[in-house]
Structure 1
């Protein structure tokens, strides 16, 4: 299956072979390759072969191969991780500019975490939830999920 694409999208051009890449795994619905601006050794991308800007824009079948590919890559990268703690990595998928998405084509990063200073550096601004507010949100979401 060829890429359902946008003519201007860099990832669509990579899938079609118009831009070279260090391809790792390709299936009917997805394509993976090494990132050329990596956060750490082994940083890879997995992209669906359907041009959708955000996750909710994709037909479900284009997501079927994503997690199995990420798992295979994580297993393969295990042998390149020198950390005494063993294999550590992040899987990251951003949506929209406020969500730190730069390329408007759904993509997943597999980012090995070999040391404290490489890979993904995360600051998580968590705060205690108000359980009354959380309960209202829960009910609202369940209603939307039923529709």
Structure 2
């Protein structure tokens, strides 16, 4: 869809630190991560909310989300993950996306107040993307 930054990332028109690029979806680092290694998973087609995702596509899309949750944990040495999705309200980009956020005990995340951080530079972001991609099964 014209003007959708996630569609532009899927099409290769906007750069992103890609973690996975598969028929069921694409995953890349969030540019404003809650914690470093925070991944966004999007379907390749422009869909706005979870209810727009055809039922036939649920296993493939959520299978990718599930594999990424495992990859974030093992690839980054995280204690767990926070997996979340907004539908319209608080959805900063109107394209279905699932957040996979690495967690560690005592990381300071409280409820839905998400502090944001930045990568030091592109090399650090590429390193995080590479570690998660390498751990993807």
Name the TM-score, length of structure 2 as normaliser: 0.71
Q: For 1:60 and 1:34, locate their aligned partners in 2 and report how far apart those are by CA, in whole Å.
A: 26
Q: For 1:35 and 1:57, locate their aligned partners in 2 and report how far apart those are by CA, in whole Å.
A: 22
Once the two structures are superposed, residues 23-46 of structure 1 have per-residue CA deviations (whole angstroms, 9 ceiling, x without a partner) of 111211311111111101210010
User: Which of these two proteins has the greater Rg computed from alpha carbons?
Assistant: 1
Deviation at 1:115, TM superposition (A): 4.2
Q: For 1:38 and 1:115, locate their aligned partners in 2 and report how far apart those are by CA, in whole Å.
A: 18
5+ long unaligned stretches in structure 1? 1-5, 124-147
Alignment pair present for 1:38 and 2:33: yes
Q: For 2:14 and 2:65, locate their aligned partners in 1 and report how far apart those are by CA, in whole Å.
A: 22
Cα RMSD after superposing both structures: 1.8
Between 1 and 2, higher relative CO (CA 8 Å, sep ≥ 6) is seen in: 2
5+ long unaligned stretches in structure 2? 113-137
Q: How many residues align?
A: 111
Alignment pair present for 1:74 and 2:66: no
| SS of 2:67 mapped into structure 1 | helix
